[in-house]
Amino acid sequence: MRPRTSRSGWLAVLAVAAVTAVAAPSATAASVDPDAAPVQAAVAAPDIPLANVKAHLTQFQSIATANGGNRAHGRPGYLASVNYVKAQLDAVGYTTAVQSFTYNGATGYNLIADWPAGDPNAVVMTGAHLDSVTAGPGINDNGSGSAAILEVALAVPRSGFTPDKRLRFAWWGAEELGLRGSRHYVNTLPTAERAKIKQYLNFDMVGSPNAGYFVYDGDNSDGVGAGPGPAGSAQIEQTIQAYFTSIGVPTRGTDFDGRSDYGPFISVGIPAGGTFTGAEGIKSSAQASLWGGTAGQAFDPCYHRSCDTSTNINDTALNRNADAIAYAVWALAQAATPPGSTVWSDTFETATGWTGNPAGTDTATAGAWERGDPAATTSSGVTTQLGTTVSGSFDLVTGALAGSSAGTYDLDGGVSTIQSPAVTLPSTGTLTLSFSWYLAHLTNASSADYLRVRVVGTGTVTALNATGAASNRTAAWQTGSADISALRGQTVRVVIDAADASGASLVEAAVDDVTITQS
């Protein structure tokens, strides 16, 4: 697990958990995801042999010992760890791929493995980071998560399980340096492929010697921090909690604080969840009463130290978490896609392949649509372009620069169009397009000026058709949505166009946070 810039936020999370540890968590009706019911598997998950998980940890320790004492990014011990895991998966029939990336002048690797069964358009993905810090072999952080998901993956062919959804497992590189591997994977995954990932499960440190039993708080019902995950995360949380309830182990929420490899997934709207047994935080007396162990001591006293070796593991916690992983994977792989799940989304913080003037028929002479970090512009006291976006720093905007005057980079001369990459829509459920937008203009505008958002497949659904008028209209973010279920099962594109068709009028427009959900 990567270090935090500041420990205060994490310690605050643990403090809240300690205060609420004696009583069962509660939530107001407004904070509970209505689609948070746990999933129960029709085919029960197998018991995951602790001895097998520990055998993988022994291999990781041996690899570190033979390669300078660690398995860190850019070091030979990391690549040897990738090769070990890959060989195990290849031998039982997984389709594996090693994805390379560069960080700090060194080559890093992600290992991705798909089981060749189940719906390829509905993927349940399970991941753990495989790298250690340079200080030690990283057996709990995160050999434990890596070994546990490896043994769960190996249990699929061994048990004869036939999942309804496609199972994908991932071992991430350079997590300890800032989620570099998982972020590279998410950011470079084609939009249509990203939309196929319906749930992501993350397991980072699941055998801490002074263990706690934390589950990512999908619906914010424990109120431990930044808020709930994307729609559908609560169902993952409830499914994992159902397993621990079945074995009589209480759990507490841990926040989606972006500390591990689920961060890049939730940032693009993919539901996520997982478990965590604690890092450098201190176990409280209430938590020791709840779970056993030593109050006043770190959950993992060897966190990011040379002593994070094969002896730095709580076998009971590792065994319980490995079985919880299998329970969640088996249940989610047999379940329908959770209501409210994200089919596709774009916050425009990274370039995802939108195309300007896609048909080659645009007539605008300036201020064409672009993905940009917008500069604020005003004219005669009217804000014509906002310098802030709905999320992050980038949006789609008609000419992002400010220029010497408000009219320098505004939309001029006619129509400008921009088109999303192809999106394959599910064939079932209610499909909804949602987005944020504004249209701004001065009194020299008319109803010939407009901002329009459409979804185009074999048919077309118009989600917005905002027209101008001969009045001042200041830029202000609004939300729009439309039912696009008529296009189910089609490959579509979101098409956005704006027009300055009133001669010398001053017109600006922007769109942000475009999302398609299924319910």
**Which residue matches tokens 């939730």?**
266
Question: Hey, what are 400's tokens?
Answer: 């992002």
Looking from the CA of 291 toward its CB, the CA atoms found within 13 Å total 29
Residue with tokens 């009463």: 289
Which token pair is 404?
């010497």
Do residues 185 and 109 touch, judged by C-beta distance below 8 A?
no
Letter string b/e over residues 144-170, b meaning 16 or more CB atoms within 10 A of that residue's CB: bbbbbbbbbbbbbeeeebebbbbbbbb
Tell me how far CA of residue 289 lies from CA of 78, 250, 278, 505, in angstroms.
38, 11, 16, 70
Give the separation between CA 82 and CA 465, rounded to whole angstroms. Answer: 51
**Closest CA relative to residue 410, chosen from 388, 391, 382:** 382
338: which residues sit within 8 A by CB, 6+ positions away? 35, 198, 199, 231, 232, 235, 271
DSSP, res 412: B
**Residues near 368 by beta carbon (within 8 Å), at least 6 away in sequence:** 356, 357, 362, 398, 399, 411, 416
By the 8 A CB rule, do 104 and 131 touch? no
> Is beta strand 272-276 parallel, antiparallel or unpaired with respect to 450-456?
unpaired
Tokens of 271: 């539901």
For the record, the structure tokens of 356 come out as: 């300007």
Report the C-alpha gap between 436 and 509 in whole angstroms.
11
Question: Helix or strand or coil: residue 294?
Answer: coil
151, 175, 176, 370: which one is catalytic? 175
Which sign, positive or negative, has the C-alpha torsion 325, 330, 331, 333? positive
Residue type, 135: A
Cβ neighbours, 10 Å, residue 250: 14
The reply to whether 175 belongs to the active site is yes
Q: Which residues are catalytic?
A: 175
